[in-house]
Amino acid sequence: MKRNPRKLAWTKSFRRAHGKEMTVDSTLQFAQRRNIPVRYNRELVSKTLQAMSRVSEISARRERQFYKNRMQGNRAKQLEADRKLVAENQHLLPPQYRDQVESVLEQAAEVQKEDMEVENELAEEVEVEPQQKQKAQNEKLKTKAKRKQKLVRGQGVEEMDVDE
pTM of the shown model: 0.48
Q: How many residues does the chain have?
A: 164
Give the closest residue to 91 by CA, choosing from 16, 156, 31, 6. 156
Give the closest residue to 112 by CA, choosing from 139, 77, 78. 139
Angle at 129 between CA 145 and CA 80, to 5 degrees: 40
Distance CA 60, CA 135 (A): 46
For 104-130, how does the pLDDT look when each residue is reduced to its tens digit (9 = 90+)?
777 877 877 777 777 666 656 555 566
For 4-36, how does the pLDDT look when each residue is reduced to its tens digit (9 = 90+)?
988 998 898 898 888 888 888 888 887 777 888
For residue 78, give the 3-state DSSP assignment.
helix
